[in-house]
Structure 1
Amino acid sequence: MVTESYLDTVRRLASAQKKAAPGAPAYSILVNRPAGRLIAALAFRLGLTPNMVTAVSATFTFVGILLLAVLPVSWGLGIAVWLLLAIGYACDSADGQVARLRGGGSRAGEWLDHVVDSLKIVTLHLAVLISAYRNFSLNSPAWLLVPVAFTAVATVLFFAMILNDQLKAVHAAKFGVVVAPTRTGSLRRSLLVLPTDYGLLCLIFVALGAPIVFFVIYTLIFIATAGYLALASVKWFRDMASLDSAGVSTAAPRGTFASEHVAGSEGAQ
């Protein structure tokens, strides 16, 4: 039984909160994480498990995506989709925080969280494609390629970030070398990468009452996200190359190869 007050739970969670990734988008740091903390404290006091919170997150998110795909566009729909997606996003932040309050997460919970995230990333942009085809007066059907391309870019970006973490973790476990962040975060950088933030993407659905305005903003965010992915991919590839170099220079047990590829089957477990 939880004996502390709700505010005490919020304060305890804030003190135990893991630090945001260097240069994380501003919405995630300033809005979503604090909102997730409030939800996490409530969920903890209600006795919900992290997986239950993930299920709540998925429910809000996929209801919003379904409404976007099947209903005619309007200001009311836009506000509803934004709220459903935003609440789902806050709950997505809350599940990990609930796990910390309960003493730690699980591999199964992490797997579930990532699978739900990957599904929402794909289906959200496909829902935009369906809605644009059914409701938007675009001057050329070629514009429908924007949500198709956004689906690809968002999927690759999510996978690349997950893969970066996994390869670095495998490298650290194999060679006993902890890979430190290459840069520290700053408010300036957080604002610069704001166009890549899922929270901002949720917010622009408010403009569904003016479909062309929405689609212009959506296209600009796609361009910014694609540009970020292109630039980040160069850096990430160099980071992985530096891990290869570090592995070669690290003394390995006789009969092994320090430069062996680290992305074997063990890296996914």
Structure 2
Amino acid sequence: MSDRIRIANDTLTVEVSSLGAEMQRLDTADGRAYLWNGDDRWWSGRSPILFPIVGKAPDDTIAINGKSYPMKQHGFARRSEFALMDSGADFCRHALTASETTLAAYPYAFSLVLEHRLDGATLTVTATVTNAGAEPMPYGIGFHPAFRWPLPGAENTPHLVTLDNGAEPQMVRLEGGLIAPDLLPSPFTAGTLALSPDLFEADALIFPEGAGKGLRFGPKDGAGLTFTFDNLPNIALWQKPGAPFLCVEPWHGMAARSDASAELTERPFTVALAAGDSAAYGFSVTVPV
């Protein structure tokens, strides 16, 4: 049975489940709910952590040094029970470590620590990966939080995604769940993308590089959510067409390329963490108050 822990301050309340260390609620003190509710008629996820891969592998199989291992989309962390390491009024920290089950799919000694921390109207989620083994450890990692679209108080109002850097990053699409080889023109104009469900009829919009370290999601006129990203160079936007949510997904790693092998090290933006080293990745979201 999974457990939930509640953290709060004067502005925000967050609930986190031990299953996947996944956030279940992000509410303001006055009752506005910003996180998607996980209605499985659309998508049962809310804010899964993606590890040790982001996206799909060919035939749900990765290869490591030529040996095949079973690996479902987005990896096993989101389906694993994390242990609560520490918590206080406004933070909690969960950990997943290598086990017989994980070693059968991913033959590396690792720890993955996920922290949720509140500071005023801002939630920061940080994932720290440690290589506890004796050889370099390849992996991908990412976040997959879903937010209500439209945002509370902005019903019947067009929503935008606006990049802090004002860029027009090129895009890739998925082909059978894998990254298609062609770079496509940017859907952004001077850093702004007007959102509509038809954008997602061919699945996620994926920006391998150039989307920058922050963005805003919300109505053109009025308060929105602001995001910053740390050590996460890839950004994806995803919605099941017509669903009442938008996923803002910062990653370090992507699905396998449709024209490449199943080798984990060949996946775009795979990390190779040295023995004994740790690396941190995170995002912050600030809620309008």
TM-score, with structure 2 as normaliser: 0.24
Greater relative contact order (Cα 8 A, min sep 6): structure 1 or 2? Answer: 1
More helix as a share of residues: 1
Report which of the two structures shows the higher radius of gyration computed on alpha carbons: 1
Q: TM-score, normalised by structure 1?
A: 0.25
